[in-house]
Amino acid sequence: MEENTNKPGLFEKGGKLWFLHSTIDAFDTFLRVPATVTSRGAHVRDAIDIKRVMIMVVIALVPAAIFGMWNVGYQHDLFNGDLPGLFDKFWFGLLKVLPLFVVSYVVGLGIEFASAQIKGEEVNEGYLVTGFLIPLIVPVDTPLWMVAVAVAFAVIFGKEVFGGTGMNFLNPALLTRAFLFFSYPSKMSGDQVWINGLPDGVSGATPLTHMLDHSGDVATGLENMPSVSDLVIGTIPGSVGETSIIAIALGAILLLWTGIASWKIMLSSVIGALLVGWLGNVFGVTNVPAYYQLLLGGFAFGTVFMATDPVTSAQTECGKWIYGFFIGALCVVVRLFNPGYAEGMMLAILLMNTFAPLIDYVVTSRAASARAKKGQIA
């Protein structure tokens, strides 16, 4: 930027195309650090900003996405046997999953750009992560128009009406999934949707469906569970990105190492799930051991990538323990005690999202009153 000329640039204030400045700015600073810095006042100088955080989460999601694509091909091959090689499987999955990514980003970013233009604000990077998460938490065969409708709903009613990135109290990616789940249940649950190319009359249920199997009074869920090694590697039917514990763990390590996700939320969520899973064993609801709860369904993915969303989780350190614990506990409660919903992770996280501000309020006001008491005695 030249200092001496008085004439404003094309996209600067007063310039001809000023009305487009937020769009231009969004692209201009997409992968670069903006050159404009605040010059007055005391500021913490740090390389970390929203953009860096969001890109980091996307990188953390890549292993799960790549494995998910391969798994789409692998599951297809199991029933059809037409994809012999590793690369064939991956390529098949990539072609299946890529349209989901395209729809998710085009619709979501379109709305974000439009609303930023209307409000005259900058476009935020928040949608980069949301848009990457959505294809990973839906069944691979979800019709694209449904994804488009759900994304539009979630971005408008979950995010923009509350003020955009950072102001939403519900995780927009999960809201997308919840919208799909309640709007088009036949495409989102049951035993026909999880595998592409499933022949008619064959059941391809996720293992979670068998959690509550009973023969008389005896719980028999464990007999229909895949082996622990299958669960850890992730060669089971499920949403695109949720199946592989190893791929999710790689992402978790990156998020924890960079300090973006809270280890307190992850740990307390695991504790909550194990506790309720153990209670389920004690009372004979299921004979699936508690540690299976951590490996099945969307628990690992939700705990690592969605419960720890810094916007919608509890902000206080003590609150994070409570918030995480109830996510894990509620997830398993839904799995064990509600036969209508095989998976409880989405509902558990959304429910605790709504309680996160209340948890923070209680924690801070308790701390404040404890301090006030201390002051009175002294």
Query: What residue ranges bind another protein (CB under 8 A)?
Result: 143, 145-146, 149, 157, 161, 179, 182-187
Q: Residue 113 or 184: which CB sits closer to another protein? A: 184
Q: How many CB atoms lie within 10 A of CB 203?
A: 10
Give dist(CA 245, CA 163) in Å, integer.
35
Q: How many CB atoms lie within 10 A of CB 2?
A: 7
Q: Residue 149 or 279: which CB sits closer to another protein? A: 149
Q: Residue 180 or 231: which CB sits closer to another protein? A: 180
Shortest Å, Cβ 53 to another protein: 30
Q: Residue 186 or 376: which CB sits closer to another protein? A: 186
Shortest Å, Cβ 26 to another protein: 25
Shortest Å, Cβ 261 to another protein: 30
Residues 6+ apart with CB under 8 A from 371: none
Find out whether 192 and 258 touch, Cβ atoms under 8 Å. no
Shortest Å, Cβ 183 to another protein: 4
User: What is the DSSP secondary-structure string of 33-48?
Assistant: --S----SS-----S-
The Cα-based distances of 297 to 20, 63, 90, 236 in angstroms read 44, 17, 21, 10
The Cα-based distances of 143 to 106, 139, 241 in angstroms read 15, 9, 17
Q: Residue 175 or 248: which CB sits closer to another protein? A: 175
Shortest Å, Cβ 18 to another protein: 24
Q: Residue 66 or 146: which CB sits closer to another protein? A: 146
Give dist(CA 111, CA 184) in Å, integer.
23
Shortest Å, Cβ 220 to another protein: 32
